[in-house]
């Protein structure tokens, strides 16, 4: 038999499936900013001597992070002076640290009732409500905080987080922008605003600029690195994508989506071996990610490791039966491994799903010929010729013609003689 003609590896059939998963990572920096003690606590907040002594003891224990002792002391302080707003406020902070948030909320409310302009109490009440998932109440309280202090940037930021969590992205975007205007060093605000724009689409350049600013302010902000890398991918800036996603995976090795998207970048940079490793890592972290199996199979084919590709692509088909791209690449892997019967079966299934896929007819014709069935190869290759001509792809059609006339037909003539 003449030297086997190499199969056309069309891993690009799935290699460009840039499944943008930004939304899946949620907020890049969603931790609430809690004000534990913005006011001075060394002043005189009560005229009751016993209350003052317990209050100072509570402050001392609080600063030592001995929160249980601080709780006891602050409870005594407000028992002796039930009108000490600062006592209720610090008791609320202490209870919050101890995980007793519902009671902390009540204590903050007592502090505000005694001092309606107590900004820190209002803010921490809002934060506690937000932590409890009471977002509507938190939004109202943050707005009240801002009305008391219009330059208090943490209130704008946490309000934006609460609105974002409710899907009120237009309002959230505005408050992220106001946060940035007041505090240009807030990396989370740049990052989360970028995430909103990226999810919405249509403002990619601004989103990229915001993520870049976030990473400049906080080089270890993994989610900003990840989302920036994904956007670079969509822009075709594959080297920048690789660099950003490499940092993201270094910072968060267990981020399956970052591993997956780094694999996509490496595929585009013609590094199939490295890409396969990243897809393998993504699969280990998320065994249900069908696309990771598909992409790894394609990468293994490109790396010349069709044997391992077969196992990976068969798994992908079990997870998502009938996927035409997976079947096509599986056919290629069988073909490269000279498992012609299996390759022919897969090519036929691909053609059944898409009778106009000329490359599938071409490779099926090759598989027939290489398996010793040149007579069956001829009509299959002629159909590939017809389809390429019909689709205006003359160069591919010429390749089929050369293969047919110089390889397949001469072989049938020798056989007939």
Q: Which of 30-34, 82-86, 331-335 has the lowest mean pLDDT?
A: 30-34
SS3 letters for 22-75? HHHHCCCCCCCCCCCCCCCCCCCCCCCHHHHHHHHHHHHHHHCCCHHHHHHHHH
Quote the tokens at residue 111. 């502090």
Residue with tokens 């990243």: 278
pLDDT over threshold 50, residue 7: no
Q: Mean pLDDT, to the nearest integer, of 136-147?
A: 96
For the chain, domain boundaries: 355-417
Digit-coded pLDDT (tens) for 36-61: 443 445 556 788 888 899 999 999 99
Q: What is the rounded distance in angstroms from the CA atom of residue 237 to the CA atom of residue 231? A: 9
- The residues near 217 (Cβ < 8 Å, ≥ 6 apart) are 185, 186, 187, 190
Q: What is the mean pLDDT of the chain?
A: 87
pTM of the predicted protein model: 0.80
pLDDT at 203: 81
pLDDT over threshold 90, residue 12: no
Q: What is the rounded distance in angstroms from the CA atom of residue 404 to the CA atom of residue 118? A: 86
pLDDT at 201: 77
pLDDT over threshold 80, residue 130: yes
Per DSSP, helices labelled H in 152-255 are 153-165, 169-182, 187-200, 204-217, 222-234, 238-251
pLDDT over threshold 80, residue 26: no
Digit-coded pLDDT (tens) for 187-246: 999 999 999 999 887 788 999 999 999 999 999 999 999 999 999 999 999 999 999 999
Q: Which of 83-92, 118-127, 358-367, 404-413 has the lowest mean pLDDT?
A: 404-413
pLDDT over threshold 70, residue 2: no
| Confidence label for 414 from pLDDT (cuts 50, 70 and 90) | low
Buried b (16+ CB within 10 A) or exposed e, 111-132: bbebbeebbbbbbbbbbbbbee
Q: Mean pLDDT, to the nearest integer, of 299-320?
A: 94
pLDDT at 411: 82
| Confidence label for 22 from pLDDT (cuts 50, 70 and 90) | very low
């Amino acid at each position: 038999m003449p030297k086997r003609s190499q199969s056309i590896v069309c891993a690009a059939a799935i290699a460009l499936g840039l499944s943008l998963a930004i939304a899946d990572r949620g907020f890049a920096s969603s931790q609430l900013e809690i004000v534990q003690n913005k006011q001075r606590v060394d002043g005189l907040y009560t005229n009751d001597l016993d209350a003052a002594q317990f209050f100072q003891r509570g402050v001392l224990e609080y600063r030592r992070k001995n929160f249980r002792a601080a709780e006891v002391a602050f409870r005594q302080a407000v028992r002796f002076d039930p009108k000490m707003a600062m006592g209720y406020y610090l008791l609320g902070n202490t209870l919050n640290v101890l995980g007793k948030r519902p009671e902390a909320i009540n204590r903050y409310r007592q502090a505000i009732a005694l001092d309606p302009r107590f900004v820190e109490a209002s803010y921490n009440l809002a934060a506690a409500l937000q932590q409890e998932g009471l977002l509507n109440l938190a939004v109202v309280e943050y707005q009240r905080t801002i009305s008391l202090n219009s330059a208090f940037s943490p209130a704008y930021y946490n309000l934006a987080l609460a609105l974002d969590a409710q899907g009120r992205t237009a309002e959230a975007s505005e408050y992220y922008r106001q946060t940035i205007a007041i505090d240009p060093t807030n990396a989370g605000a740049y990052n989360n605003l970028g995430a909103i724009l990226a999810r919405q689409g249509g403002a990619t350049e601004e989103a990229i600029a915001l993520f870049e600013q976030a990473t400049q302010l906080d080089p270890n902000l993994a989610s900003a690195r990840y989302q920036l890398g994904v956007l670079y991918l969509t822009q075709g800036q594959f080297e920048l994508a690789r660099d950003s996603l490499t940092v993201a995976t270094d910072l968060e090795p267990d981020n399956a989506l970052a591993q997956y998207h780094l694999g996509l970048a490496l595929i585009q940079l013609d590094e199939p071996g490295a890409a396969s490793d990243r897809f393998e890592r993504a699969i280990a972290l998320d065994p249900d990610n069908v696309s990771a199996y598909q992409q790894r199979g394609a990468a293994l084919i490109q790396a010349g490791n069709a044997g391992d590709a077969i196992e990976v692509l068969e798994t992908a088909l079990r997870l998502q039966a009938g996927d035409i791209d997976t079947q096509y690449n599986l056919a290629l892997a069988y073909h490269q491994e000279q498992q012609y019967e299996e390759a022919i079966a897969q090519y036929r299934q691909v053609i059944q799903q898409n009778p106009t896929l000329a490359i599938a007819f071409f490779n099926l014709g090759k598989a027939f010929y290489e398996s010793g069935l040149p007579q069956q190869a001829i009509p299959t290759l002629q159909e590939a010729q017809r389809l390429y001509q019909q689709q205006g792809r003359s160069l591919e059609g010429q390749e089929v013609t050369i293969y047919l006339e110089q390889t397949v037909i001469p072989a049938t003539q020798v056989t007939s003689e």
